[in-house]
Amino acid sequence: MSGPSDKARFFLEQHVPELNELERKKIFTKEEISAIAKKRSDFEHIINARGSHPSDYVRYIEYEKNLDALRRKRIKRMGVRSAGSGQRTIFFLYNRATRKFSGDLGLWMQYIEFARKEKAFKKLNEILTAVVRLHPTKPELWVYAAQYFMETQADITNARSYMQRGLRFCKNSEHLWLEYAKLETIYIGKIAGRRKVLGLDVDRTAKAVEEDGDTDMIALPAITAEDINPSLEKEEGDDEVALHNLATAPVLTGAIPMAVFDSAMKQFQNDPELAAQFFDMFADFDQLPCLKPLLQHVFDHLQQNSPRSASTALCAFQMTLLGIYIHSPEFPAALGRSLELLNSTLQQNPKQRGQILEFAIRQLLPLLQRVEESDEPVLKKVLASSLRKYSRALEEAGSNTGDAIARLVEALQREGNRVDAQKLIGSTAKQWSANERLVELQTALTT
């Protein structure tokens, strides 16, 4: 059995032709070549010795990345033909590292990110296949792989396949179910946007969901990437065929996210809190053509299975205002019903008071912003008064020092809702002016 020194010598010998070429073409001097060889020898002896760590590989890879960057700069400056194979060397090191430390997800993610940066798509596909095979119970890996194929390759077929296979191994991951539904919803948005640009917005009815032959997979409406992506057609005139196929596919009706939601409810025994998370996720896609049917589907499920749940009441608040514009004569009455619903929900669910109050504040902030922009003084007064009322109640449920409001402001900032954060702190800062954190947040948001 070969020892560490023999292994190190074997791998170092692989670099000899490359180093000779770099010296021959005067990309590196003889002294630099000697220094490179010595540095590699040190690294090889470290990683081949007993007790080596993933960090040893990371340092070696970082050195090779810097070396490759220097090599490329000199080649460009000198105008010589490419010499060396820095990318292949780095890939080889990542492969050795992940084989030796296959359980280190940090290494795998660095490997994946390097492949993405280098646009080595074929290699990246191999890496993703290998990592989910080794770590099938890690939901974040399935989500990452699906998002990669959707965002980078525009390949819904592969993205959907990763999500469905992931759910075989991670059936109890709420995050994975939500991300799968989100993926399908994003897909609807992309297709709807393309149809709008092409002037193809038409009403149509949904097809029935067809059964898949694999009982472990979620039954989804039959649809392929070619049906909905005209760019996949090569010949001139084929766009019309692809777009005609799209007109008969069920993708735009929301049938697929609904199927995912229904399967998730079966898996989690109709958990109302999870259903509310699906509702909130769908509600974020406010320009989706099938938004109302999607939300109605979730809301109907909640009413049927958890009519007394606080989650059902909070979704009802949003459904009451859904599709009603600020200037509509129906808006004041709908707003009044929504606020009454919030108040009754607070009385009926004292144990969830903090959660409900935070929800109320989050819902009122964007409404107040829109009312102010539309110059509706009466509505503005009602919403501003309600916001102060729920803010005070949130503090009374906690320490009553402004800490709860400060935490909510910070949460809004992290989520990218800077306008809502400014609005909240502006309406509550005077009341809790002694709270140092709130003062700091106010200063940061107003500068």
First to last CA, the chain: 66
pLDDT in the model for residue 80: 80
Same domain, 24 and 83: yes
Q: Is residue 340 part of a domain?
A: yes
Both tokens of 430, joined, read 């005077």
pLDDT in the model for residue 439: 82
Nearest by Cα to 254 from 321, 204, 322: 204
Same domain, 376 and 429: yes
Environment class of residue 319 by beta-carbon count within 10 Å: exposed (0-12), middle (13-18) or buried (19+)?
A: buried
* DSSP calls for 119-182: T-HHHHHHHHHHHHHH-TT-HHHHHHHHHHHHHTS--HHHHHHHHHHHHHH-TT-HHHHHHHHH
Same domain, 325 and 206: no
pLDDT in the model for residue 230: 38
**CA separation (Å) from 324 to 253, 254, 283, 296, 390?**
21, 21, 14, 15, 23
Q: Is residue 3 part of a domain?
A: yes
Contacts of 167 (CB under 8 A, 6+ apart): 142, 173, 176, 177, 180, 218
Q: Is residue 86 part of a domain?
A: yes
Same domain, 377 and 433: yes
Same domain, 27 and 58: yes
Question: What is the C-alpha separation between 98 and 219, in angstroms, rounded?
Answer: 36
Q: Is residue 205 part of a domain?
A: yes
Question: What is the C-alpha separation between 247 and 338, in angstroms, rounded?
Answer: 37
| DSSP 8-class letter at 323 | T
224: left (phi over 0), alpha (psi -120 to 50) or beta: beta
Both tokens of 304, joined, read 């049927």
**Looking at 32-141, which runs of residues are DSSP E strands?**
none
Q: Which of 71, 101, 131 is the endpoint of a domain?
A: 101
Question: What is the C-alpha separation between 55 and 350, in angstroms, rounded?
Answer: 51
Given a contact cutoff of 8 angstroms between Cβ atoms, the answer to whether 282 and 185 are in contact is yes
Same domain, 291 and 380: no
Its pTM stands at 0.79
Radius of gyration of the chain from Cα atoms?
A: 29
Same domain, 39 and 55: yes
pLDDT tens track of the chain, all 447 residues? 466 688 888 888 888 888 888 888 888 899 999 999 999 999 999 999 888 999 999 999 999 999 999 998 988 888 887 666 778 999 999 999 999 999 999 999 999 999 999 999 899 999 999 999 999 999 999 999 999 999 888 889 999 999 999 999 999 999 999 999 999 999 998 887 777 777 665 444 433 333 344 555 565 554 444 333 434 444 444 555 554 555 555 677 889 999 999 999 999 999 999 999 999 999 999 888 889 999 999 999 999 999 989 999 999 999 999 888 888 889 899 999 999 999 999 988 888 888 899 999 999 998 888 888 877 888 889 998 999 899 888 888 766 678 888 889 899 988 888 888 888 888 877 777 778 888 888 888 777
pLDDT in the model for residue 233: 42
Total domains present in the chain: 3
Same domain, 183 and 317: no
| DSSP 8-class letter at 231 | G
Same domain, 409 and 318: yes
How many CA atoms, within 13 angstroms, populate the side-chain half-sphere of residue 44?
21
Q: Which of 72, 101, 130 is the endpoint of a domain?
A: 101
Q: For 368-377, how does the pLDDT look when each residue is reduced to its tens digit (9 = 90+)?
A: 888 888 778 8
Q: Is residue 146 part of a domain?
A: no
Q: For 361-396, how does the pLDDT look when each residue is reduced to its tens digit (9 = 90+)?
A: 999 998 888 888 877 888 889 998 999 899 888 888
Same domain, 95 and 185: no
Contacts of 150 (CB under 8 A, 6+ apart): 156, 159, 183, 186, 187
Nearest by Cα to 154 from 226, 246, 255, 233: 226
Tokens 């009926």 correspond to what residue?
Answer: 348
Tell me the residue range of the domain where 14 lies: 1-101
Both tokens of 298, joined, read 């979730």
Q: What is the CATH number of the domain that holds 338?
A: 1.25.40
Contacts of 30 (CB under 8 A, 6+ apart): 23
pLDDT in the model for residue 268: 96
Same domain, 206 and 295: yes
pLDDT in the model for residue 220: 58
Q: Is residue 292 part of a domain?
A: yes
Question: What is the C-alpha separation between 423 and 401, in angstroms, rounded?
Answer: 19
Q: Is residue 152 part of a domain?
A: no
Torsion, Cα of 322, 328, 334, 335 (10° steps): 100
Same domain, 328 and 435: yes
pLDDT in the model for residue 238: 54
CA 86 to chain centre: 32
Q: Which of 101, 121, 137 is the endpoint of a domain?
A: 101
Q: Is residue 148 part of a domain?
A: no
pLDDT in the model for residue 214: 52
Apex CA 218: angle with CA 216 and CA 221, to 5°?
140
